[in-house]
Chains A and B, each alone.
Chain A
Amino acid sequence: MSGPDTLVFLASHELRLGWRDWLSLMTAGRRTRARTATIALIVFAVFMHGLAYSMVAGYAGMGVVPDKTTLVVVTGTMLLSWTLLLSQAMESVTRAFYSRSDLDLILTSPINPRKVFAVRIGRIAVSVAVVAMLLAAPFINVLAMLGGVRWLAAFGVVAAMGAVAAALAVALTIALFRTIGAKRTRLVAQIVAAVIGASFVIGMQIAAILSFGSLSRFAAMQSDWLVARAPDRGSTLWWPARALLGDAGALAVVAGVALALLGASIAIFAGSFGDHAMAAAGVSNAVVRQRRWPLGFRRRSAASVLRQKEWTLLRRDPWLVSQTLMQMLYLLPPALMLWLSFRDGSSALVVLVPVVVMAAGQLAGGLAWLSISGEDAPDLVATAPIAARRIVWAKIEAVMGAIALVFGPLVAALAFAAPTVALVTGLGVALAAASATLVQLCFRVQAKRSQFRRRQTSSRIATFAEAFSSIGWAGCAALAAAGTWAAIFPALIAIGVLAGVRMISPPRA
């Protein structure tokens, strides 16, 4: 057996934890679901391979030395994907700092913390790379089956991208710690991660909107303007793209550089990781003083105090607010399009409708989980002399109020440009939000608000039902805004999803 102070021992420990974490994520913590999860994964993998075939089959015969436009598109797509990996890696690093779990045990053990955190950074890199490889696998497999084994080199490139993302994520997060301190880093790192993850996609969409009036990011990457200004085909900038296309030499260089960067990051930062983790552990003990209100206790109904409590808790938790509002970043391109269309009097506003409705459904789902399932004092509320139905209504009102606050201004702005579209959007937002709330109500669990990040693992059915009902209402609103009666079909799908949810939701004790 390995001695306790060895990297192998620690790595196997991390590997075991990582595996169990993943298994728990897949089976929502119930081992009996392992077989169901396996079948679901196989079905998903088959579906993804079919999807990948339809998307990339035409590119399988692409040469190792392609033209400049292809290099721009491949590199741009890689960069886009890499920003998402970087975002994911930053989330993982931040979690490693702020999740207490075994940190107390590790930091009080006689093991050299540098070794522990070296392994932990390595684990982050491996997990980011593995997830990326799994997601890329259907596309790479299809390309390899149709175009030859050279395409398997893409796995190496994806792994290298994961390693670089982890290295940079550690450096960025520690830089944040040193500049703004442990208390603010948790929130800021999360926002930075989300902005990084979304910025490239959003940036490309904004460029496409400004240039071509389209939401497609490929429109910008394939533009003559960009291709003309890109470096020559012989530039080292294209090595990752060449490696992806099967150039063994380029792959060796890319993998070498990635490993060197990860090694440097571990060597430089593993030593200070423990200090920052300890600083993060002290954050929860910080005293936050609220302003005294001069009026004293206010006379309000029970429903009113419940609504007010939900809004106060949400307002005072910027970490949760940023978690729930991050998806709103994706509303920026539609907002830009709205502004441009408003200015030009264009009829392109209809494309905004499904985006806004979908976002409302997703946001409402998160808020509904916080309000209904993420109740930190369930016994207090349950023992209060209020009918359970009134408590639930008050919580639904809190969610719908927050949705109205976020989407009201957007719908009001839309009303100036296109009143009918605004009316349809408003109805779509209300229906999507109500449906997502109903799904959360049917699948409510007892959880802590701090478990918000893992809400989707508690019920896969709820997650999919929430997504499908939002998609249904988004489709319905888009078609209704376009003035077609076909809108009724996605609406029926959404209603069907909700009916199914009501039927299969677990009985309440």
Chain B
Amino acid sequence: MHSPVERPIALALRGLSKRFERPAVDALDLTIFGGEFYCLLGPNGAGKTTTLRMVAGLLRPDAGSIHINGIDALADPVSAKQMTAWLSDEPMIYDKLTPFEYLEFVAGLWRIDAAAAESRARELIGWLGLEPHAHERCEGFSKGMRQKVALAGALVHDPRLIILDEPLTGLDAGSARQVKNVLIERVRAGGTVIMTTHILEVAERMADRIGVIAGGRLIAEGTLDELRKITGEQTGKTATSLEDTFLTLVAEQAAAA
């Protein structure tokens, strides 16, 4: 594995801010490298989803910049969107379309060559175990199946940056495993993943680096070992799991605030 400094920057956030009733994201600086699996953790209301929605182009920041693979996403959103995919915890798909038709629609939106998109769609449908349902309308699908269709849609245009907001919420163990495998495969192939999750075990196992956000600010960042080291230095105790580390970091932030 390359060290982060050798890799190109996939996502760079500088001074990113968004305020609703109160600051949701507060001058956030964040750098994610190409081919990296990055997990963004934080308590409820920490600003994780707001951050990712700004990166995906769904929210306009009040201040700051977003660069995706070197492209200024605020100045040239169309080019930035061409290389990104967004998936939230609530799969938004069309009930009256089949998975195959949905993927054809997504490929059309991203202007992917029809033959290449079809081949990729078949591959994804196979990977995600959707073959028996590929020509059924999505209206009768379970949450897990809907999420898998949405994930296939996110991957059918071969994005370089995949932005995922709690993608495993509500999935059964089998479906969650399939989704995780597809994501790991994607990172191995050179893609970059930034994901929020409340399932710390997933972050612990999958992430190359973990960022902890609270009050709209990045309070800690690094590999799991690095985070353990930070909390150990701060508390004088040795945290054993990511859960202990995370809770310690968040508690300290709350106390400081």
- CB of B75 within 8 A of chain A? no
- CB of B115 within 8 A of chain A? yes
- CB of A109 within 8 A of chain B? no
Shortest beta-carbon distance from B136 to chain A in Å: 5
Q: Mark A353-381, 1 if CB is under 8 A from B, else 0.
A: 00000000000000000000000111111
Question: Could you say which residues of chain B place their CB within 8 Å of the CB of A306?
Answer: 109
Report the nearest A residue to B117, measured CB to CB: A297
User: In the bound complex, what is the Cα–Cα distance between A298 and B105 (angstroms)?
Assistant: 10
Shortest beta-carbon distance from A305 to chain B in Å: 3
Given A384-B109, A385-B81, A292-B58 contact (CB < 8 Å): no
Q: Are A309 and B57 in contact (CB under 8 A)?
A: no
- CB of A290 within 8 A of chain B? yes
User: In the bound complex, what is the Cα–Cα distance between A387 and B78 (angstroms)?
Assistant: 7
- CB of A451 within 8 A of chain B? no
Q: Which of B79, B95, B136, B137 contacts A385 (CB 8 A)?
A: B79
Q: Mark B53-97, 1 if CB is under 8 A from A, else 0.
A: 000111110000000000000000011111011101000111111
Among A283-304, those with CB < 8 Å from B are 284-292, 296-302, 304
Question: Could you say which residues of chain B place their CB within 8 Å of the CB of A288?
Answer: 136-137, 139-140
- CB of A149 within 8 A of chain B? no
Count class of interface residues, chain B: 35 or more
User: In the bound complex, what is the Cα–Cα distance between A82 and B27 (angstroms)?
Assistant: 63
Shortest beta-carbon distance from B121 to chain A in Å: 7
Q: Are A376 and B93 in contact (CB under 8 A)?
A: yes
Q: Are B109 and A376 in contact (CB under 8 A)?
A: no
Among B84-126, those with CB < 8 Å from A are 84-86, 88, 92-98, 100-101, 104-111, 113-115, 117-118, 121
Report the nearest A residue to B108, measured CB to CB: A305
Q: Are A297 and B118 in contact (CB under 8 A)?
A: yes
Which of B86, B104, B118 counts the most chain A CB atoms within 10 A?
B104
User: In the bound complex, what is the Cα–Cα distance between A112 and B58 (angstroms)?
Assistant: 48
Shortest beta-carbon distance from A282 to chain B in Å: 10
Q: Are A290 and B118 in contact (CB under 8 A)?
A: no
Report the nearest A residue to B84, measured CB to CB: A383
Question: Could you say which residues of chain B place their CB within 8 Å of the CB of A385?
Answer: 78-82, 109-111
Q: Which of A286, A292, A378, A384 contacts B110 (CB 8 A)?
A: A384
Given A284-B140, A383-B84, A290-B135 contact (CB < 8 Å): yes
- CB of A382 within 8 A of chain B? yes
Q: Which of B88, B121, B140 contacts A287 (CB 8 A)?
A: B140
Q: Are A386 and B109 in contact (CB under 8 A)?
A: yes
User: In the bound complex, what is the Cα–Cα distance between A243 and B153 (angstroms)?
Assistant: 64
User: In the bound complex, what is the Cα–Cα distance between A291 and B105 (angstroms)?
Assistant: 17
- CB of A268 within 8 A of chain B? no
User: In the bound complex, what is the Cα–Cα distance between A466 and B136 (angstroms)?
Assistant: 37
Given A383-B81, A385-B82, A377-B92 contact (CB < 8 Å): yes
Report the nearest B residue to A391, measured CB to CB: B109
Shortest beta-carbon distance from A319 to chain B in Å: 11
Question: Could you say which residues of chain A place their CB within 8 Å of the CB of B113?
Answer: 299
Name the segment of A38-46, A73-81, A310-318, A432-440 touching the other chain. Answer: A310-318
Q: Are A509 and B60 in contact (CB under 8 A)?
A: yes
Question: Could you say which residues of chain B place their CB within 8 Å of the CB of A313?
Answer: 94, 96-97
User: In the bound complex, what is the Cα–Cα distance between A284 and B140 (angstroms)?
Assistant: 6
Which of B57, B79, B117 counts the most chain A CB atoms within 10 A?
B57
Report the nearest B residue to A316, measured CB to CB: B96
Q: Are A285 and B140 in contact (CB under 8 A)?
A: yes
Q: Are A302 and B111 in contact (CB under 8 A)?
A: yes
Q: Are A305 and B114 in contact (CB under 8 A)?
A: no
Report the nearest B residue to A388, measured CB to CB: B77
Shortest beta-carbon distance from A321 to chain B in Å: 11
Shortest beta-carbon distance from B49 to chain A in Å: 12
Q: Which of B58, B95, B98, B110 contacts A382 (CB 8 A)?
A: B58
User: In the bound complex, what is the Cα–Cα distance between A309 and B78 (angstroms)?
Assistant: 21
Q: Are B135 and A383 in contact (CB under 8 A)?
A: no
Question: Could you say which residues of chain A place their CB within 8 Å of the CB of B80?
Answer: 385
Q: Are B137 and A381 in contact (CB under 8 A)?
A: no
Given A297-B117, A313-B97, A385-B82, A305-B105 contact (CB < 8 Å): yes
Question: Could you say which residues of chain A place their CB within 8 Å of the CB of B57?
Answer: 382-383
Shortest beta-carbon distance from B20 to chain A in Å: 11
Which of A302, A313, A383, A509 counts the most chain B CB atoms within 10 A?
A383
Question: Could you say which residues of chain A place their CB within 8 Å of the CB of B110?
Answer: 384-385
Among A263-284, those with CB < 8 Å from B are 284
Which of A292, A312, A377 counts the most chain B CB atoms within 10 A?
A377
Question: Could you say which residues of chain B place their CB within 8 Å of the CB of A300?
Answer: 108
User: In the bound complex, what is the Cα–Cα distance between A393 and B113 (angstroms)?
Assistant: 23
Q: Are A376 and B92 in contact (CB under 8 A)?
A: yes
Q: Are B139 and A284 in contact (CB under 8 A)?
A: yes
Q: Are A380 and B139 in contact (CB under 8 A)?
A: no
User: In the bound complex, what is the Cα–Cα distance between A296 and B100 (angstroms)?
Assistant: 9
User: In the bound complex, what is the Cα–Cα distance between A288 and B99 (angstroms)?
Assistant: 12
Q: Which of B92, B95, B101, B105 contacts A378 (CB 8 A)?
A: B92
Q: Which of A297, A298, A382 contacts B121 (CB 8 A)?
A: A297
Shortest beta-carbon distance from B130 to chain A in Å: 14
Q: Which of B59, B104, B109, B121 contacts A302 (CB 8 A)?
A: B109
User: In the bound complex, what is the Cα–Cα distance between A382 and B84 (angstroms)?
Assistant: 12
Question: Could you say which residues of chain B place their CB within 8 Å of the CB of A289?
Answer: 135-137
User: In the bound complex, what is the Cα–Cα distance between A325 and B104 (angstroms)?
Assistant: 29
Q: Are A297 and B114 in contact (CB under 8 A)?
A: yes
Question: Could you say which residues of chain B place their CB within 8 Å of the CB of A291?
Answer: 135
Q: Are B136 and A296 in contact (CB under 8 A)?
A: no
Q: Which of B79, B121, B137 contacts A316 (CB 8 A)?
A: B137
Subset of 16 A-B contacts with CB under 8 Å:
A286-B140, A288-B137, A288-B140, A289-B135, A290-B135, A292-B100, A296-B115, A297-B117, A305-B108, A309-B97, A313-B97, A376-B95, A380-B106, A383-B57, A385-B78, A509-B60
In the complex, the 5 A-B pairs of residues with the closest C-beta atoms, listed nearest first: A305-B108, A384-B109, A377-B92, A385-B81, A385-B82
Q: Which residues of A approach B to under 8 Å, CB–CB?
A: 284-292, 296-302, 304-306, 309, 312-313, 316-317, 376-387, 509
- In the complex, given contacts A304-B108, A305-B108, what are 8 additional A-B residue pairs having Cβ atoms less than 8 angstroms apart? A288-B139, A290-B135, A300-B108, A306-B109, A376-B94, A377-B93, A380-B92, A385-B81
